[in-house]
Structure 1
Amino acid sequence: MSTVTLSLEVELGWGVHDIDEYERISEDRQCESRYLRRLLSHCDDVDIPFSFDVVGHLFHAACSGEHRSPHEDGWFDEDPGTDWQTDPLFYAPDLVADIRDAETDHEICTHSYSHVSCDEASDEAIRWDLEEAQQVHEHVLGERTVSFVPPKHEQPPTHVLRDAGIEIIRMHRSDGVSKPRKYKRLVTGPHPEFSPPVTIEDDVVVTYCTEYPSLTSALLPSGRRDTHPAFKYLPFDTAKRQQLHRRYLRQTAEQALETDTPVHLWAHLYDLSNEAQFLALRDFLTDLAALEAQTDLEVLTMAELNDRVRAERRAHVVV
């Protein structure tokens, strides 16, 4: 199964509301909005779909800020209780609409309702959070989602997932390499191979990815943040760094084709939202579209990957 899945986390203020790192996001999310729209436009040009993992609260145009939830006291303290024009880091119905209305058939899956911590929250709180997310999906999009990217890749209980109608999740895996080897891998590749790259655990499909964002490059500034000090002083200019990342991504897609296995690449919207990162990804998407047109490689959303994995399992059982 030679497939590539691309997912992008759209979390904005909810991704940092419990760690107070708002400096990751541009003022009034102007950059994130602009680069998402540029990404959607290019995806339309090359017909490449993404799974957009959107925090459920961002679907709202406004809210009171009051949430009767089983979360710990204070969990929703950062919710301003206003509207998307006043506090666009916490409400983003315009971005949801942009994704939904794009020509390309993107998937909008959930990143939970409030960026819930599955390691710290109770099963009851996780269940509540997923149900709230499903309700806004149903209200805005007309259907619930089967796909979930747990915040920080913290493992949720599978029985809670099944109760919420979730059929596929994305989780990271450590490749267990030494720090020097990991450093080299981030500079020149190759992307790690996971065996197996997809599993089914208690009737929930799990698609695996790297611990670090792979659609963006550690060699380039991440959104508003400068390049990491470990890579900042390498003797490469921006164009060379973009070229290295484009090559890393293309080789990853070719690896999926050669090994006949699924690969999942991902990033955060706020890390992608600068010119250096965007141009490298844009050029890779053009390469990926050409590979898909010329070979047996397929670009699948998480929901499509879920259908494919389950269909293959049924065919195997029948045989």
Structure 2
Amino acid sequence: MSEGPGAFVVSLDTELAWGTFDVGKIERYEPAYRETRGIVDDLCALFDEYEVPATWAVVGHLLEDCEGTHAAGPEPTYPWVDGWDDTLPCRTGVDRDLWYAPEVLDRIRSCTVDHEVGLHGYTHMLLGEPGCTRAAAEREVAAAVDVANDHGIDPQSYVFPRNRIGHRDVLADAGIEVYRGRDARWFERWALPSLARKPPRYLEEALHRTPPSVWPRERGGLLELPGSQVFRPYHDGWQWTHPDSQRRRAVAGLNRAAATGGVFHLRFHPFDLGFDRGRLLEVFESILAHAESLSADGSIATLTMAEASTRHR
């Protein structure tokens, strides 16, 4: 138990086509990518209504054309990609609307609530994969920080693409203070193949397991804030889970954080709401409403990732 209130943190992987360009899934998710600007607008309205600040982890290249000054440098060598830079969506003829969206940042900044803008890399490079050298990681992080600085942002938080955590020292050298760690579940933390993680993930939803409370912890000169729950999309098989599972689990996670003084850290991609936008926004609003009720009685504080780390220090 803790003497202080619990905390509610929301982090959003804001990426559009940068999230899947290297695995050939842009066309599969294109309808949702095209919905993302409207989804960001809807989320901003909800965050303002319920006075919840979020951490928007933005891929830096969303804010810069490929004619910018931050593109050159050492490349990672991943076995599934024949040349990282040559595969970038801005260089392979992908519709510009799917990878260039500076207006998303403008919308976030227009909110009444003071959101945090963190980083999700510059090109969504997987820093924790063996093919990513330190030089490539330095190039990726430096470019992301430079673009953020060009837009008046001093980034404090980092979300590793696909949770491939690596080169934490590079983040620390760049002034990052906190990163999102893997979810606090054994099957997320163990070195399991992606396919092996799917059955326990489905079981969590089917059994309405209460998400864990988490606490920031020192790791590699930074603070790591693990995730508690993914706000799931209604596609890729998740549409077959119980329709009320997400809300029930999140409410239970908020209650647990309030009781323990820990953090309930909810995370997702805005584009994931694109396949059933109305229903998912309704569920998400019910979660924010419950957080508001807990905040009103002083048992939950709504914080960004940077604020949660500052409170910990």
TM tier, shorter chain?
0.7 to 0.9
Q: Contact conserved, 1:28 with 1:89, CA < 8 A, in 2?
A: no
Do the aligned partners of 2:17 and 2:89 also contact (CA within 8 Å) in 1?
Answer: no
Aligned counterparts of 1:46 and 1:268: Cα–Cα separation in 2: 20
Residue number among 223, 238, 244 corresponding to 1:205 in the alignment = 223
Match status 1:290 vs 2:293: yes
Q: Indicate whether 1:22 and 2:26 are aligned.
A: yes
Structure 1's unaligned 5+ residue stretches are 311-319
Whole-Å separation in 2 of the counterparts to 1:152 and 1:59: 20
1:47 aligns with 2:56: no
Alpha carbons of 1:155 and 1:309: their partners in 2 closer, same or farther (altered >3 Å)? same
Alignment of 1:71-220 (within 5 A): 71-72=75-76, 74-79=83-88, 81=90, 87-118=96-127, 119=129, 120-140=131-151, 142-173=152-183, 175-176=185-186, 182-193=201-212, 197-210=215-228, 214-216=230-232
Match of 2:303 among 286, 300, 304: 300
The alpha-carbon deviation at position 245 of structure 1 amounts to 2.0
Give the letter for the 1:164 counterpart.
A
User: Could you tell me how far 1:16 is from its partner in structure 2?
Assistant: 0.5
User: Could you say if the C-alpha distance between residues 65 and 77 of structure 1 is closer, same or farther in structure 2, counting changes exceeding 3 Å?
Assistant: farther
Matched residue of 1:205: which SS? strand
Quick one: distance in 2 between partners of 1:259 and 1:294?
15
Q: 1:30 to 1:179 in 2, by over 3 A?
A: closer
Which residue of structure 1 lines up, in the alignment, with residue 251 of structure 2? Answer: 250
Q: Give 1:314's aligned residue.
A: none
How far residue 110 of structure 1 moved from its aligned partner, in angstroms, is 0.2
Counterpart amino acid of residue 248 in structure 1: R
Segment drifting more, 179-188 vs 12-21: 179-188
Secondary structure at the counterpart of residue 230 of structure 2: coil
For the structure 1 residues 9 and 182, does the alpha-carbon distance in structure 2 shift closer, same or farther, using more than 3 Å as the test? closer
Shift, 1:103, TM fit: 1.1
Letter in 1 for 2:269: H
Give the deviation of 1:100 after TM superposition.
1.4
Offset at residue 153 of structure 1 (A): 1.0
> In the alignment, is the contact (CA less than 8 A) between 2:211 and 2:250 conserved in 1?
no
Tell me, in whole angstroms, the C-alpha distance in 2 between the residues paired with 1:16 and 1:179.
Answer: 19
How many aligned positions are there?
288
Pick closer, same or farther for the CA change 1:125–1:266 going to 2, 3 Å.
same
Contact 1:55 1:112 in 2 (8 A): yes
On the 8 A contact 1:126/1:160 being kept in 2, the answer is: yes
Give the direction of change, closer, same or farther, for the CA distance of 1:182–1:20 in structure 2 (3 Å limit): closer
Separation in 2, partners of 1:126, 1:148: 13
Q: Could you give the per-residue CA deviations for residues 90-128 of structure 1, whole angstroms, max 9, x where no partner exists?
A: 111011111112111111100010101111311111111
Please give the per-residue CA displacement for 1:24-46, whole angstroms capped at 9, x wherever unaligned. 43349331111110110111111
- CA distance in structure 2 between the aligned counterparts of 1:182 and 1:10, rounded to whole angstroms: 22
Change in Cα spacing, 1:65 to 1:167, as seen in structure 2 (3 Å) is closer
Q: Specify whether residues 179 and 46 from structure 1 end up closer, same or farther in structure 2 by C-alpha distance, changes over 3 A only.
A: closer
CA contact (8 A) 1:64 1:81 kept: no
Say whether residues 1:277 and 2:288 are aligned partners. no
Percent identity between matched residues is 26
Whole-angstrom CA distance in 1 between matches of 2:29 and 2:105: 18
Give the root-mean-square deviation of aligned CA atoms. 2.5
Secondary structure of the equivalent of 2:138?
helix
Query: 1:28 touches 1:88 (CA, 8 Å); kept in 2?
Result: no
- Do residues 4 (structure 1) and 8 (structure 2) align? yes
What residue identity is the alignment partner of 1:21?
K
Check conservation: 1:4, 1:299, Cα contact below 8 A.
yes
Structure 2 CA distance for partners of 1:295 and 1:24, relative to 1, 3 Å: farther
